[in-house]
Amino acid sequence: MIGILKGMATTMKHALKGEKFTVQYPEETPEVSARFRGVHKFSQERCIWCRQCENVCPNDTIHIVTDDQRQGEEYNLHIGQCIYCRLCEEVCPVDAILLTQNFEFTGDTKDELVYNKEQLKNVPWYKDIDPLESREPDRGAWIGEGDGEVDYQ
């Protein structure tokens, strides 16, 4: 009986202490880390249409259409199908595609979740956090022997 009573005493202690672990979303927005992988943001200014992101994507989520001059026409990313692995951001040589911390996106149908390059450009930052700023010290890490100085113009 003692064991049972000890167990019951433990739960009663929790009840009387009254600390709550729940985050009352949406009144309180949770603190996410700077590295959190949310919806992508695409920069048409930087993209050089090298198709590295399309090649590396594990489940063919990115579709790029270029004309015969290798100039980009369409950049489609299905954010419903994406597994948010961040490989596209990792291989992009010019930081044209980033994963923001924004996880608050919705769509009524699955087709609404296919974002073209206009929509990807307009994805808002979550709580105005620019992920590049948080990742800058790490940017150079995976370039191997590089010194890690990335110059944003």
Partner 1 sequence: MATQTLPEFIADVTGLGTYGVGGEIVAAIIGAGIVGTIMLTYTGIAGPWAKRKITAAFTDRYAVNRMGPFGLLTIPADAVRLLSKELIIPENVDRPAFDIAPLIVAGSALLGFAVIPMGSLFGINLQIADPEAGLAFVFAVASIATLGLTMAGYASANKFSFMGALRAIAQNIAYEIPLVLTAASVVLFAGSLQMSEIVAAQTLGGGTEPLLAVAGLEIPPWFAFVNPFAFVLFMIANLAEVGRNPFDIPEAPTEIVAGYQTEYSSVYFVLIYLGEFLHIFLGGAIAATVFLGGPAGPILPGFVWFTIKIWGVFLFTQWARSAVPRVRIDQLISIGWKGMLVLSFVNLILTAVLVGVIV
Partner 2 sequence: MSLEKSRDDALDAAGDVDPQAILDLLGDRVLDTEEHLNADIAVVVRPDAVEETLLALRDEAGFDHCSLVTAQEYEDRYESIYHLKQYDDPTNEVSVVVPAAKDDPVSESGNAAYRTCDWHEREAYDLVGIEYENHPDLRRILMPETWQGHPLSMDYDQDRPQVVTLGEHDNPLKDDHRDEDSDTMFLNIGPHHPATHGVLHAKTVLDGETVADVDPDIGYLHRCEEQMAQNGTYRHQIMPYPDRWDYGSAGLLNEYAYARAAEDLADIEVPEYAQVIRTMGAELCRIAAHMLAVGTFALDVYGDFTAIFQYAFRDREVVQNILEDLTGQRMMFNYFRLGGVAWDLPEPREDFFELTRDFLDGLPGKLEEYHDLITSNEIFQLRCVGTGVVEPEVAKSYGATGPVARASGVDYDVRRDDPYGYYDELDWDVVTEDGKDNYARVLCRLQEVEESAKIIEQCVDLLEEWPEEERTIQSNVPRTLKPENDTETYRAVEGAKGELGIYMRADGTDKPGRFKIRSPCYSNLQMLPEMAQGEYIPDLIASLGSLDIILGEVDR
Q: Residue 24 binds which one of partner 1, partner 2, none, with CB within 5 to 8 A depending on kind?
A: partner 1
Query: Exactly one of 48, 51, 58, 73 binds partner 2 (CB under 8 A); which one?
Result: 58
- Nearer to partner 1 by Cβ, of 8 and 141: the residue is 8
Q: Are 83 and 59 in contact (CB under 8 A)?
A: yes
Q: Which of residues 16-35 bind partner 2 (CB under 8 A)?
A: 21, 32-35
Q: Which amino acid is at 21?
A: F
Q: Are 54 and 63 in contact (CB under 8 A)?
A: yes
Which residues of the chain form contacts with partner 1 (CB under 8 A)? Answer: 4, 7-8, 10-12, 14-15, 18-22, 24
Q: Which two tokens stand for residue 69?
A: 């001059």
Q: Residue 48 binds which one of partner 1, partner 2, none, with CB within 5 to 8 A depending on kind?
A: none
Cα–Cα distance, 15 to 32 (Å, whole number): 28
* CA–centroid distance for 130 within its chain: 11
- Minimal distance in Å, beta carbon 33 to partner 1? 23
- State yes or no: residue 129 binds partner 2 (CB under 8 A): no
Q: Which amino acid is at 47?
A: C
- State yes or no: residue 48 binds partner 2 (CB under 8 A): no
Question: Residues 6 or more apart from 94 whose CB is under 8 A from it?
Answer: 46, 47, 48
Q: Where are the alpha helices (DSSP H) in the chain?
A: 2-17, 52-56, 87-91, 117-121, 131-139
- Minimal distance in Å, beta carbon 11 to partner 1? 4
What residues line the site for partner 2 (CB under 8 A)?
1-4, 6-7, 9-11, 14, 21, 32-37, 56-58, 83-87, 90-91, 134-135, 137-138, 141-142, 144-145
